[in-house]
Structure formats: C-alpha cells, structure tokens
Structure 1
C-alpha cells in the first residue's frame, strides 16, 4: 500500500491525482558530512522514506544535511528534535559537520574536554538534494559545497542550482584545494546557476519548488522538531501565517512620507522665509520715506539761499521805497530847521551885544574864569567817577587826601603784579582743561563711530579687523559671516569669568584671528595678497582631522568653549586644547612651580624661562575684551562708556566755565588796578576844584548886584541860548537822519542792482511755499537784519530733519541687513544670488514677492495634495489591511478545516481550528489615529490650514514611531502591524454532530502522546495553509521531515497523525529510533537503516524499498568509499531488498494488534543471521 493511497475521505482521489505535479525529494547525496565519511547516495521514494536506526547512528546528521541546504542560516537549528523548544545545539555547526566531529575527549596534558574530529586538517564536503516532478516532468538538484583550510575556523562555500540530476561525487574533486567556481562553471555549463549568497539561492529554489517564502522554509524546519512545540498560537502565528503585508505597507508609507515631510518642510521653510523677509517690506517703506525726507530736506536746504535772495530783494525794494520817501520829506524839514537855527543864533547875538554894553569890562573876565573853572570841575568829577568805578571793582572807595591817594597807588601796583601771576596760572590750567575737552570730543566721536559700526556689522571685534574682513568679503563675494574671528565664536565657560584677565592675556591674539574654511582658502589667500587691508591680519586655514590633547583640569583651555551652534565647534575644541594648556594659578609664587601658566593678574609663563605681562591695555575694562563679547554686549559697553565720557565732558565744561569766570573776574580786577593807577591826585581832587568855582561864583554875584538891568538881560540871554541849542540840535538831527536815509537809499539801491546783476536760480514753487511756511512760523515779516537769523534757524531745522531721516534710514537698513544676513545664513542656496547688503534689498523683496505670489502657494498646494494622497492611499490601505487581517485568516483557514474534516482526530471526532480576534488597546488607538488621518482627506476642500497641520503632525508622529529604532517604538510597531498578533487560535474537537467536546490552546495538561497528536494535526494544518495555493488540492512542494515526532504516541494516534499529512498530499521523511516501524512504514515507500561503528566514527546507510514504482530511481550495489582512497566513486546506500517485507499478513497483524511482530518483520530486513545490524 502506498502512502498516497492511504489517505482517507472524500478528497483522496483528487489528492492522489494531483501529486504528479508536486516537487518531491528523489535523492540525497552527502560527502564528508559528520560521521558520513566519503560519498553516500540515498534514493528517496516519491511516497516517502523512513530513516531508522539506533540512537547516535547519524539519523539527525542526515536530516541536518537537508536543513543546511533548505533553511536560512539565521533560522538553522541543528539536531532540533533533541533540543527543548527555542534552544539550539550550539555544538553542532556546519564546521563541525564538515570536519566530522564525533566525540568529546579529555586532553591528557591539560585535562580540558575537547572535540575530536575525523577530518582535522584541510577537507571538503558537499550536499546534493534532487527534487523531481512527474507532470510536467522536471528535475532540479540543489548543491552546497564546502572547503575548510587546515587550521581555519570557518568554511568557504558555494550554492549551486543544477537543472536535472547531478552526481555530487563528480564535483568533489574540483574543490580539493578550495572552492573553484570557475572550474565548476566550466564543468556544469549552462545547466547550473551560481549564487553570491544564500538569500538569492533560496529565492531561486523557492520559485522552482513552489515554496511561498521564507516563512514556509521556517515552518518546514520547525516541523522537523514538532515534538517540542507547546503553544498553538506560537505555532500558527509564527509558522503558518506569513509576515503580513502591513510591514511593507508601513515601510512604503514611511518611505513615501519622506516626500510629504519634504513637502511640509518646504511649506514650513517657505513660511519661515516669508516670516523672516516680511519685515523687509515696512522697512523698505521706512527707508524710502527716510530717503524722500532726506531728499526734500536737502532740496529745501539747497533752496534756502535762493529763497533768502528773493526775500531780501523784496525787503530791499520795500526799504528803498521807504528810504526814498523819507529823503524827500527830510529835505524840507532840514531846510526849515536851518532857518529856525539862524533866527535863534541872531537872537543870541543881539542879546549878547546888549548885555556887553551894560556889564562893562570886569564882569566878563570873571565870568570867563568861572566858566573855565566849572569845566575843570566837571572834568575832575568825571575822572573821579571813573576812578570810583575802577575802585568799586576792587572793593574800595576813592581816597580823600593826597597821602591816602599815594598809598592807594602803591597798593594798586602790588595787586596788579599779583593778579598778572594768577592770570598766567589760570591760562595754563585753562589750556590743559581745553585739551581734555578736545580729547573727550574725539573719544566721543570715535565711540559713536564704533557704535554705528557694531550696529551695522553685528560684531564686537576691532574696527580695523572688521574693515579688513569687509574688504576680503567684497573681493571674494562671500558674506562676512562665513569668515568669523575666533573671538566671535569663542566664549568663557560659565562660572570662570573671574579668570577673564588671564584668558585675555593668553588668548586675545588667537581671538583676533580670522578663520577660513578649506573651501574658501584659495579665494581668501588671493584676496589678502592683492588687497591693501590697512591693518595686521592673521587668519587660519581650517583643516579637519586634528587630535585633541589631554590637559589638566586647571588648564586655561578648560575655561574656554565654542559658542553654541557654531560650525567650528569641534575644530575649536581641539585647537584650544592644543594651544592653551597653561595652568591657571593665583600668583607669581604658584607660577614658579609650573612649566606653562598664567596668573590671575595676567602674567604669562610660556616656558621655563620666558615670561610676559602686557599692561598696555587695561584688561579689566570690558571695552578691551576680545573673547565671548557679542555685539549687543559691546554696544552696551560703548553706550556705558559714552555716558561716562559725557559725564566727564560736563565736568570739564563746568571746570572750564569756572576757570573762564574766575579769569574774567581777575582780568577785571587787573584792568581796574591798571586804569586806577593811571590817575593822579590833581586829576581827582574835587575839593580844590569845587573851592575855585565857589570863589568865582561869589565874585560874579557881587559884580552883578552892582549893575542894574543886567539880571533881566542874563535871563533873556540864557533863554535865547537854550532856544539856539535846541534849534541847532534839531537841525543836526534832521541832517543826520537825512544823511542816514540817503545812505540807506544808496545802499539799498546798490544791493538791489547787485541782486539784479547776479543770476538768480529758479525756485520750485512747492519748495517756495514750504520755505514760506517755515520762515513765517518763526517771524511773520522778518526784516533784512532778521532774515539771516531766520534762515540760519530754518537751515538748522532742515539739517536736523535730514539727520533724523538719515538715522531712520540707517536703523532701517541695519535691521534690513540683519534680516538679510539671517536669511542668507539659514538658506544659503536661496540667498546664493544675493548678498546681505543694502544694494540687494530689492532682490530680497523680489524673493519675498515670489514667495507670496508663487512659491508658498505652490508648496502649500503640493503639501495638501501629498497629504491627501498619502492619507487616503497609504494610510487608508494600511488601516484597511489591519482591519481585514482577521477575516483573511478566517478565509484562508477554511480549506484547512475542510481538509481536517477528512481525517478523524479521534473516533467520531474531528479537529477544527477556530480564529478569534484579539482586541489590543494599542491597536485600537493606532487605528483611531489612522482613521483621523485618512478621514480628514475626504473634506479637503473644507479643511483649514490649521486642521491640515494638525493632521500632518499626527501623521508625522505615527510615521516617526513606525520608523524609530528605539526598543519601545519597535515593540509598539510590532504590536500594531503584526496582524498575526491580532488573532488567536483554538483547536476545537467536535463530534459528528458538530458539538464541541474539547478545546486546545496549547499542550498544557495533555499527556505526551496527546500533545504530539495535537501538534502533528496543527502542524499539518499549518503546512497546508502555508504551502498550498488557494484552489489547489495539494501543495506544490511536498517534502515534510519529521524527526522522532511520534515517540510518545500510541499506534492509533500515530496513524491518525500520519493520515492527516498524507491526506494533505505531503511526502514524508520520517526519522525514528526503531519504534512504531510498522505504523510508520504504511505512509512511506521505503526505509533506510542508519548504523555506526562502535566508536561512532563511520555512519552507514542500508535501504529497502517497499514497492517498485515508476518514479523510483534504480540503484545498484553501493559501497562506502573513504575520502583518501578514490577521487570519484559510484556508490550509494546498500539495497537490502526490493521486495515488500511487510508481506501479505500485514493487515491481519495490524488488526490483531501484534505490533511488535510487524516491527520485527522490518527489523529482520536490516539484520544478519546473528541479529547484528
């Protein structure tokens, strides 16, 4: 009876007819494999083969040869049936099989337990498995050849796929010295395919033999050790179900999400660009307005002269007309005044003549003397008043006597000399204060220039260095930001500021060094060589690969670090460790004990003999710091310094004002002393002069009383004289006024003539109106004398407005340049064609315009489209695949249950595998997230930007976790995507009415035999699921290897298990240690006895075929050939007999239950007359 014909139930005929299209193992060849020394050739009937023999004879070694070819190395477990579940026999390896490990011995010298090898030197090995198919006819041989050099701990190997039969022994000779692929190719020709690795080899034979994938290989390998399986879920999940497509879908989604992430990054990038550049537009307007204001102020300033000229002309014409009218009027008044003066003079002459006739000769003489005395008195009084004024300055009064006056004269002389000395001292002091003031003015001017430079360059380095860098930047076309000075990107470690003086003393020179990237070195070197920099510039070419030095914890290098975010951080770390290993010590005493060091006060010791302390700069002053000072800090320092200097300037001004005041007071006293000393006593003796006048007045009085009528004449004469004086004064006044008006008329006329002769520039009417407003706001009708003052005021105001507009422009330009610098630094590619300079403002505005008009909308549109497509396609498909997984498993398990229905699990009972869904919370949350992501794409038209962003963030979070390599995320990913974990399996035993009588979720609580029976049924179901295409009655690949699978079951359990395998259409290769032989042989087409010698060194094969079928290969006598004897042999398994040893009484024996007798029938075939194997 054949194994195929033993299948029971409705589908048996269909299974039998379909096996002709199956790939079944036909031949096993090994060479030097384990204890199978030399060449062995074992035919395998299509109905299956039973391997039996004593324990340790080599059965598992032969099965491991199959595994070495059919199982990937990462899943390969040699001698799997002898191991507990999940473990591996690490003593068995490919190398141990090739070298022929056969025992463990103890070394006599060391007592160490070691492995003894049959082939310890250079050796070779090979395995060949031949598979055949009857319809359509097809034969394929899988080969693995090994070579191990003497002393090597690994084997070189080659995998070959050969069309048709191939004798392994033909190829062994070609690998004596190593795996010679070239020679093998020449020998095998086009029939053979060689592979670079096992994965491509396995993929090729899986396609040819009808294996669905690597999971099927693993399941077949796991079946070999079926007795160690305990969990139904583990078996069916890990070995029946393929790796779900959800993993590849997720990988595809993650891979394609990169495009969406790039699109989102482009949107975010465009938005950030737009946000950064957006302030440029109002700044541009501010700059335009400021420039317009400057232009207007400049035009108005330039028009002031023309306006003043026109205004002066108008005022001159008005003045000329008034002067002309005044001259005409004054001509008449002067004529009348002259006539009135003449009449008054004649009246005085008439009265004088009349009085002379009355007074006689003596009185006029006395009166003349009195008049002269009165004049002298007036002169003395004037001189005395002058003296009193000078003495008043000195704080004293005029003396009353000649002696007192003489004493005063001496005092005045002494004080004048003293004051002269003090004045000279004050002059020297004033010169010194004035120098201080001029120095302060220069310092303030320099500070303001420095503040402007810091604001524009955003750097705190020295101006000469910044100028040099700007020259290089313009020459190379590179922004200054790519050529940093060390001090700009180096700072002091927090908490180490107390060592600032020491740091500056040692590292300030390094801080003033410019860094040049390797890619710009040639350009910078050329620019430095050609350009005149105006200062001393040191620069370093930054080369990668420096090694950091080890320095002491108190080294100066430990107090420095690169600024966060700088591209030169790693280079700087290495460089400062290399340069600044100076030990930081407190004072000179400690400095003496170190090789290189620096004190807190800044004294540097660079070797045992060389010391330096540079006090040309006050390193405690922040303005002289070069390290770790950013632009804002330095600008604040400059501002503080400006405030300090302004306070000092106010003090100097006050000091100068005080000196000026005191000098003026002393000068006044000095001048008063000199003026007072110029007077004589006679010039100020008012008493004497007054006495003379009094005496003469008394004499005149006496003479007048003696002449009648004289008093009346005197009264009239006095009145006439007063009238004459008044007339003369009025005449003089009118003539002076006339002269003045004529002069004014003449001057005005000449001025007008000059203005007319000179070219008068055109004055724009709008500018004229604006200047009218400004002039009238100060003086509605300014005179000629006031025009200049008003013009000066207007010009000053226009200058202030122009300066204010210039400051606004500079501030806006500074902010704009800062924005352009940020833009260029963050997006070098976008800013490649523009530079962070005011001249490129319009180009940046064009970038902003393009962003708003095209780039940003385009990026947002592409982002929305990708978000929609990936949400609706990738995510939707992934979610759908996860949700459908349970129903797909149920659908696939249906044919398996139909096949299980054909074989009784126990009398009247059948086994059925039922699928349950495991509802994991993490999966529910994952599906909810996927639903949120995918459903949002349905309402794209109504979706806001914020909603799309939120959906993207959720998608990004999911994709990030799916792509993560962290163990927590990998666990989450496996739980969500491995849909095999979303189902659980239960084997249900049901009676003929379909009623469940027992449930099995694993082997717990079962006896050994029950466990193996359950495992065999479930394995058969799993193999049927994994290897059979939908709609096919049998799998395309038929071979199933079972090693000691029924060592704990009885005959009925074993037969039922084997029936289910046969019913599913599998070719069985069974291995058992001389147990249950008669039951097993019913399901195979032959048996092979594996034996070994007493020392376990030489395994042998003997074969018996139970039937002569058309597809069975004929074998002749074979003999074992040792590796050292022949290069090529024709050998095989010893064929014990070609007749069926089971005999005609087999059925009866089986029915009567004399199993032992039937086993002896097969056993006798493999023994001699004495009972030896």
Structure 2
C-alpha cells in the first residue's frame, strides 16, 4: 500500500510547475483567440482541461455543486435509524463486502437524481431486471421465504405498508456559497405496486432528523412544515427534476442520463451509440412534426374536397350522359312511333292512286277482249258444221268398226292410266308401310293379310305422341304466360323503385286517379321498410313474415274518407288491405333481438313514428338461432321461417325462402329487376324449348298421318284387277293392230279421216282460244270487281285514319318505303307487302329504341341512386327519377364550373404555401441540426486534442454519414417533397401531394403499423442517427493517424477502459457545463462510478482517476475491498458498509487517514 501513496512535497512541487504550464497555455490560447481562432475559446478550453491536478482552485474553493452528505431512512436494508454518508464535496470511496448494501446506497443517489422508471436498480451489481424496484427498497425486501402453499417463494419485508422512507442529499457550491438539499419521501399504501411519494428542494442544509421527523402519519403536516422552512415540494419528478437542474446549472437533457450510465459503465463497446446518446442533444422534432401534421390535415381536407368533387363529377357525368341519351332516344322513339302510325294512311293513299290507275287499264282491256270473243265464237261455229259433214261421209264409207275400235281404245287408255296410277300409289304406300310391290295376285293377298298389324302399331305410336304433345303444349302455354307476366312486371319495376307487384301498383294508380290523391301520399308499408344490411341472413324469414303487412296501403286521416269511399264503390278485381294512420303515434322501441329490431325505416318518411309503433307491436317476435330458444319464447321466429305466436305455429314453404322474386320490402329494386330479367330469360328459354319439342312431335305426327293415308291408299284397292295395267295394255295392242288392217283397205276413207283430223284440230284450237279468252274476260271482270272493292276499302280506311299534313313526316315515310323497295317498283299489289316490311323494320327499331331508352333510364336511376346513397346530404330534396335529371345536372354544373376549380385552387394554395413551406422549414431545421452536430464534434475534438491518450497521441471523433437505408431514403423523400415546389408558377400537383402524404402518414402512424412507424419516425428524424462515429488515435505533432476503430472490440481490457474514460471525460465536461470555463461557477460536478475502477486494471484506473481529477469532478467510487489500494490516493473520505445479519446495513464514515491508520493497526 505504501507504494500507492504520493509524497505531499512532490505533489506541491508538481502543482507549482503545472500552474506555470497552465499560465503559458492560457497566454497561447489568448493569442490564438485574438487572431480569430475557431471552436471553443482559449479560456473555455483551458478551464475544461487544465493541467493542474489539484481539486481546488487558487482561492482554495472547489468549483460547482458537490455532494456533501447523503442521509437514508428506511431504505432497503438500512432500517429504522438514519444512516449518513459524509462526502464533504471530496472524492470519496464507498466500499464493503459483497451484499453489504453498496448498490443500495448508489440506487438511493440515482433515485434522488433520476425518475424511478428510468432506473435499473442494482444494475452495476449485475442484478436481473426487476429484481429490485422502488417498492422493494421502501418495504425492505431482503430475502425470500416459501409461500404458504409451498410451491413458490415470496419476498420477506422489513417494513409493512404505512412506514415512511426518506432519501436526502445535501449539495454545496463553495464558489457560490450555496447549499441545496434534495429529498424524496416515500411510503407504501399496499403490499404491492408502486409506493406513493413526493419530492422536495430546499435552498439550505436540511436533515432527516431535523426536518423530516415527528409528523406522525400526516403527510400534509410534513409538507406544511417543509414549506414553512422554505422548501418546495413536488408531486411529479418532471417538475422536481426541472427545478434542481436550474439550481445546478444543468441545461442539457442528457446530463442526468449520462450520470446514470456512468454509474455502471466499464467500457465503450460502440462509439456511435455512446456519442449519440451521451454527447449530442436529442432534437425536439415532435412540435415540428405536429405542425406539419396540422398543416397536412388542412391540406388533406382541401385534397379530400377536390377528390370529393371529382368523385361527384365522376358519378354525375353518367347521370347526365344517360339522361341525355334517354331524352334523345325518347325523341327518336316518338318520331319512329309517328312514322309507324302514318304507315297505313301513306301506303293506303299510294295504293288508292295505283288502284284507280289500274282500274282504267282493266276497263280498256275488257272492251278489247269482248270484241275478240265475238269473232272467235263465229269461227268455232263454222268449224263445228264442217266437222259434222266430214263424219257423216266417213260413216258412209265403212268407218263404223274403226269408230268402235277407237272408242274401245279410248276407254282402255283411260282405264290403263288409272291402273298405272293406282299401282304407283299402292307401291309407294306399301313401301312406306313395309309391304311388298303388288306384282301379282299372291303378293297382293299377302299385303292384305299383314295390314291389320301395321294399323295397330301406327295407332299406338299416335297415342303416345299425342300425350307428349299435350304435355309440351301445356308447358309452352305456361312459359308463354310467365313471359307475358314477367314483361309486364319488368316494365312496371323499371318505372319505379319499390319491389311491390305490378298489379298492386296499378290498383293504387287507379285509386289515386279516381280520388285525385298523389301517389306519394299513399305509400305501401313495403316501400318504407327493409331488412338492415347487417341482418341479411334473416331477410328471407322477415320477407315471409311481413309479406302481408308490406302489401298494406297506409292512409292518413286526411285521405281516409276519400279512399274508403272509392274502394267501396269500385270493383277492385283484386284484394286490397289498407291501414288508417293516426295523426299522432307513440313510437314503440324495438327490443333487441326481435324481428322489429332487424328492420330499418326509409329516411324522411312522415309515417316513421306510426311504423315504429306498428312494427314494434306486431313483429316483436324473438329471432331464434336455435330451436331451444324458439320453444322458450311465446312469440318467436326461426331463420328458416317458422313462426310462432299466441300458441299458433306456422311455416309456409310453398315458395322458397330465398326466392327473391317474391320479396316486397325496400326502396331499391335493382336486384329484383336483375332477378326478374333472369327469370324472364329462363321462361323464354322454357317456351322456346317447349315450342321446339312441339315442332318435333308435330313432325312425327305428320309422318304418322301420312302413313295413315298410305294405309287408306292400300285399303282402297279392293282387288288385284284394279292394279293389273299390264293385261289392259296387251288388249289395247291387239285392237290397234285390228284398226290398222281396216284403215289400210280404203284410200277414200283415209282421206276423209285426214280431213276430219285436220278440221278437228283447227276446231280444238279455236275452242281453246275461245275458252282462254273467256277465262281472261272473267278474270278481268273479277279484277275490276276486286280493284273496285279495294278502292272502296282505301277510301274507308283513309276516312278512319287520314293522312297527315306533316310534309317532313310523309317524306321520311316515303324514304323508308323506298329503302324497303330496293330494286322493286311500288304497285297496287305490293303495297301491303312493302308496308309490312317497313312496319317490321320500324317495329324492330321501336323495340330497340324502347329497350335502349329503358336501359338508359335504368342506368340513370341507378347512377342517381348510387350518388344519393353516397352523398345523402347533397340530395336530401332529390329523388332518383328521370324527372330529377335537371337538378342532378345543376349539381354537376356547379361542381364542374365553380366548386372543383375553387377546391383545386384552395388545395394548391394549401400545398404550396403551407404544407410545402412547413416541409422546407423542417428540412432546413434538420440540415441545421446536422451542421450543429458536425460543429459539436469539432468542438469535442478540440477538447480531446488536449488530452494525451498515449504518449504523443490523442483521440479524435470522426463522423460519417450513415449507410442506414431507412435514414437515407427518408432524406431523399424529404427533399423530393420540397424540391421544385415553391414558386409563382407551381401548379396543382397530385404527385406532390402523394409524396407528402406518404411521408406524413408514416409520421402519423399507418393503421396496423403504428408502432413500426413510431419507431421509424423516432429514428429518421433524430439527426444523431444520420451519423455514425468512429475514433481515430492521431499523433499530436503531425496529425497522422496511428489507429482507427469504431468500437473497443479487439482491445485489451485496460485499453477498452482507457478509451471509455477518455470519451466519458469529454462527454461529462459538455453535459455538466464544465466547458464554459472558470467563469461558470454554477455547474454540477458529482459523478458516481460503481465498481468500474475495481474491475479494471491498475494502470487504466489511475489514468481515469487522473483524468477526472483534472476535470475537477467529485467522484464517488464504489468498489469492493480488494481494489482500495489503487483508489485510495485519489479519495479523501471512505464510507464502509457492513451487513452482518443480512437485514440491517450499517454505514461508517472515515477520512482516508483514519482508514489508513486503522488498516495499518489491523495489519500489525
């Protein structure tokens, strides 16, 4: 130990020499400053790192506030009596055996100077987190005991709730002759949790016995006493901490954090983290970010207004387009309809004109034909006389047998032709029926025997096909009827918004027309009720239960008399239920879980209160998820539609619960229209399928009918003789031979016969011409009669439907007729055909126009409904109807011409003049802070240059821009938000807004990523994170680098400790305000180092002690007994802690001389 004690004389001589060195240094610094030197002033640098190793100045006073006395009452194992640790502002040593209570004393000091939630108690001793707490010190937990149930342990306390603990520290500033007492008073009100506490500060010397005793259990009394003695009390650490920092001249928020870390710091593992945390101030960016968020909120509102206006324009433009299209199509439809109405009179007029012209032609042709008929009649008479004379001559010349043969040949020719015809028909029919061609009598008889079986088979096929046809015909009829009903219902639904059946709407229209009451004054209940969207699963059951009520007409008292009179005096041809709505109704609140609670009422209806009462009274059925619930309630409904009430149970499954075509609740029928269209398509498909089937059946029946005819053909031949044409032909050949022999025997007869033949041919020709002429005359007469009747019909038709005088309309009809004629010419015969052709085209055009107009109307109403649903406040007085198109167009015009330009200008102004300016300012602030950090490191480096780290070398901190991608990306994004943003020519920029929004939303915290964004914001807006730091050991004379390192890894334990002491010294100087120089008397000089010197090497410990001594810091060194020989030359007082029983720590105060004397005495 003797080797560790310095000679006082040597210390004094060293002091005198070093004073001279310091004087010369001051002179050099003064000269440099006068020449405009950069960084700290020479006076500040000399004051910070003076080479004088004395702990007092020339006047014999120690600078700054130093801890003179620490008092503990009921703190940890320091139980019952007050324990006092006297430091007297000097470097002091706190020592004792392991577990004696040294860390308890250290934790008492940190509790005085730091908020409890920032302290990791007993950290320097290696305790686990939460092993000790503020409550454990107040209660005095000192060991663990087995719990009553025996499977766990519990802490054992020295003190129960209600016992008070006090930690008191007296700090003195000799240079200012000021004393400040800090104290914290704590007590536990329960077994666990956090103790209650308050803090106090007094300008003067206080003690626990003198100022914190004899107050009983009355804390208020203690506070009054302290206030009477000039002390201020605080309920929160923030107020207390701010007050004692003002007293001690601590301006840095990081100073006390550094104080806390110094307690247990052994080495600097990471230079970047240490510099950021202990040597650079944390930036106050929260206010700036709040301002930015505030401006962005205004910008967002302006942007939302632009987007809202754009969205409204987007939604209203289809309304305008479809409404205009509907209006245009309606005009086209009306024009086409007028053209169709004029088709009949126009074509009738043209037919009349053409018929009258044709009548004149027929009359002229008839007169000519009459003259020709008279001449031909005379000529036929002359031919008949000549032919009679020739025949008399032939008979007289032997032509009797020839005439008989000719007669027989003529008869046989006719009979042969008949036989051939019957044979052909029979053969074809027999082939179809599966019989054989009748070549002889045997085959004929075989066919006759097989015919009954064929008849029976055909009868069975016919019966089967007739049954199938009857079924298909019924299916087609039903499908066609459905098609008609669906078309009528669809047309009705397209003209309104409710889901009620068309016949009911038609009945109301009749009623309103008969009474003069507006339709809107007589709503059906179904138009005003619907199932809530959130209760969609119950929609089918609700529709079935409320179906009858939904079809009830609601009649107010004002219209009751008129409605009841009209209903009574008219044949409704349907069933109508109407309810009288009283003038005043008391709404019945719907009970949760009932059917009534699952319904919503159309907003704005004046019958709301009546419906609330009626629905709440009539449909208070409990909606049950299970049958157990259903059986439990007197009125209940299941999701499958089973209804219960008054002991009566009902379930009507005649129609599917999910058949939405029968739904009647609500005021939006788009879904029902879609489903009805689908049903219409299905019905049309069924009708076509049935028609196709009928066509096939009719074809098969036709084949059967033809086979029946074939049976008749076969049956009609009674004998084979009726088919035997071959025998008849042979007979005719024999007679022809006989005639030839007779004719060749007489020349006179041959000549007469030739003349007869010639005259007969001429007579036949003239007779034929006369017959043809008669037919032509008859046809002409018929034509004249027909055309005359046609002309009369035209006159009659035009009398009923006269031709319009609208020349343009007639010209358009004429154009259509000309197009239909194509290459034809219009005549009185084809007017009807051309009219039908034009009418078909016009009707197709009308149907297409009606369909397009209907779709445009439907689209218009759908877009209106979508707009009203999304923007109800803008459409309170508007309904979704074609009549309201003008009002919707007014809204669109207002938006496009006024609102959107105004909103866009407001957005541009907010973007460029507020938000972007705020971002530019924020960016400038961060850049300035960046430069501040560079300057601060420069100042620290100037100070570090004066500390000899190794012989001839010193340490310099080197900042580098971080490579962290998040920080670098943030800088890029921040610049992108502000670059090219400000200027008179800046235009509305959605892209710029999106850039700003992306950044600001991360500041605000995105949904689902709030914690992540908070960490990101704290990271990238803390300019300290923009840098990484390393240390460079340089030669003082040349500035060349000797070694470069980013942390103390790879170095020996002593080297790590030496680097830690060097950087820590610079950090403490700045944070405690020591850098301000000798003129700064109000500074904090107290530092606690817990076991750091004890764990390091002797050489590094001496280096650190010498360095802190030069900084004129008061050290409280906490170390175990085995390291005292290294530390004792640097301390004046020793506090020895002992705890022999483990439950009662004692603290003994000694001067270093007393300690040495006692140690030497024990050594002897």
TM-score by length of 1: 0.59
- Residue 960 of structure 2 is matched in structure 1 by 917
Which residue of 181, 188, 197 corresponds with 1:148? 188
- Does the aligned pair in 2 maintain the 1:933–1:951 contact within 8 Å? yes
* Matches of 2:299 and 2:376, distance apart in 1: 115
In the TM superposition, 1:879-1028 aligns within 5 A as 887-893=931-937, 913-920=956-963, 922=965, 927-937=971-981, 948=992, 974=1019, 977=1022, 979-980=1024-1025, 982-984=1027-1029, 986=1031, 1015-1028=1060-1073
- For these two proteins, the number of residue pairs brought into alignment is 949
- Residue 1060 of structure 1 is matched in structure 2 by 1110
- Residue 98 of structure 1 is matched in structure 2 by 138
- Residue 104 of structure 2 is matched in structure 1 by 61
Structure 2 residue 333 is matched with structure 1 residue 294:
yes
- Return closer, same or farther for 1:997/1:644 CA change in 2, 3 Å cut-off: closer
In the TM superposition, 1:628-1027 aligns within 5 A as 649-660=691-702, 662-663=704-705, 666=708, 670=712, 743=785, 747=789, 750-751=792-793, 754=796, 758=800, 760=802, 762=804, 764-779=806-821, 781-809=825-853, 873=917, 887-893=931-937, 913-920=956-963, 922=965, 927-937=971-981, 948=992, 974=1019, 977=1022, 979-980=1024-1025, 982-984=1027-1029, 986=1031, 1015-1027=1060-1072
State the 1:94 CA deviation. 2.3
State the 1:198 CA deviation. 4.4
In the TM superposition, 1:1034-1113 aligns within 5 A as 1034=1080, 1036-1043=1082-1089, 1048=1098, 1053=1103, 1056-1062=1106-1112, 1080=1130, 1089=1135, 1092=1138, 1094-1095=1140-1141, 1098-1099=1144-1145
* Matches of 2:211 and 2:337, distance apart in 1: 102
Which residue of 211, 215, 221 corresponds with 2:254? 215
State the 1:203 CA deviation. 5.1
* Matches of 2:501 and 2:211, distance apart in 1: 79
- Does the aligned pair in 2 maintain the 1:29–1:129 contact within 8 Å? yes
Q: Deviations over 1:91-123 (max 9, x none)?
A: 543233223355789999999999765436763
- Return closer, same or farther for 1:516/1:924 CA change in 2, 3 Å cut-off: farther
- Residue 367 of structure 1 is matched in structure 2 by none
Q: Deviations over 1:503-550 (max 9, x none)?
A: xxxxxxxxxxx99997755669999x989xxxxxx999999xx99xxx
Which residue of 475, 483, 508 corresponds with 2:527? 475
- Return closer, same or farther for 1:421/1:1088 CA change in 2, 3 Å cut-off: closer
- Return closer, same or farther for 1:235/1:433 CA change in 2, 3 Å cut-off: closer
- Does the aligned pair in 1 maintain the 2:320–2:889 contact within 8 Å? yes
- Does the aligned pair in 1 maintain the 2:352–2:794 contact within 8 Å? yes
* Matches of 1:466 and 1:208, distance apart in 2: 89
- Return closer, same or farther for 1:239/1:850 CA change in 2, 3 Å cut-off: same
State the 1:66 CA deviation. 2.1
Structure 2 residue 198 is matched with structure 1 residue 159:
yes
* Matches of 1:734 and 1:452, distance apart in 2: 54
- Does the aligned pair in 2 maintain the 1:148–1:155 contact within 8 Å? yes
* Matches of 1:195 and 1:1098, distance apart in 2: 31
* Matches of 2:375 and 2:896, distance apart in 1: 95
* Matches of 2:1005 and 2:891, distance apart in 1: 37
* Matches of 1:718 and 1:1098, distance apart in 2: 168
- Residue 123 of structure 1 is matched in structure 2 by 163
- Does the aligned pair in 2 maintain the 1:47–1:1067 contact within 8 Å? yes
Q: Deviations over 1:553-584 (max 9, x none)?
A: xxxxxxxxxxxxxxxxxxxxxxxxx999xxxx
* Matches of 2:538 and 2:95, distance apart in 1: 83
Structure 2 residue 283 is matched with structure 1 residue 241:
no
Structure 2 residue 121 is matched with structure 1 residue 71:
no
* Matches of 2:169 and 2:122, distance apart in 1: 19
- Runs of 5+ unmatched residues, structure 2: 1-7, 27-42, 49-56, 396-402, 430-439, 505-522, 541-592, 613-618, 627-637, 641-652, 659-670, 723-727, 733-752
- Does the aligned pair in 1 maintain the 2:1030–2:1047 contact within 8 Å? no
- Does the aligned pair in 1 maintain the 2:1055–2:1100 contact within 8 Å? no
Q: Deviations over 1:278-303 (max 9, x none)?
A: 77777667655654543333222222
- Residue 475 of structure 2 is matched in structure 1 by 439
Which residue of 1151, 1157, 1160 corresponds with 2:1153? 1160
In the TM superposition, 1:487-506 aligns within 5 A as none
- Residue 577 of structure 2 is matched in structure 1 by none
Which residue of 304, 327, 330 corresponds with 2:343? 304
Q: Deviations over 1:1053-1097 (max 9, x none)?
A: 5774344332xxx66656677768885467xxxx57555575465
Find the residue that maps to 2:838 and give its secondary structure. helix
* Matches of 1:439 and 1:176, distance apart in 2: 104
* Matches of 2:231 and 2:491, distance apart in 1: 78
- Runs of 5+ unmatched residues, structure 1: 364-370, 398-403, 489-513, 532-537, 548-577, 581-613, 620-628, 681-685, 691-710, 1105-1157
Q: Deviations over 1:865-902 (max 9, x none)?
A: 6766799556655655665556423423555566678x
- Return closer, same or farther for 1:29/1:957 CA change in 2, 3 Å cut-off: closer
Find the residue that maps to 2:979 and give its secondary structure. helix
- Return closer, same or farther for 1:195/1:268 CA change in 2, 3 Å cut-off: farther
State the 1:656 CA deviation. 0.7
- Residue 650 of structure 2 is matched in structure 1 by none
Find the residue that maps to 1:302 and give its secondary structure. helix
In the TM superposition, 1:386-401 aligns within 5 A as none
Q: Deviations over 1:135-163 (max 9, x none)?
A: 9999876543332357x244422233456
* Matches of 2:913 and 2:295, distance apart in 1: 11
- Return closer, same or farther for 1:516/1:912 CA change in 2, 3 Å cut-off: farther
State the 1:768 CA deviation. 1.8
- Return closer, same or farther for 1:94/1:417 CA change in 2, 3 Å cut-off: closer
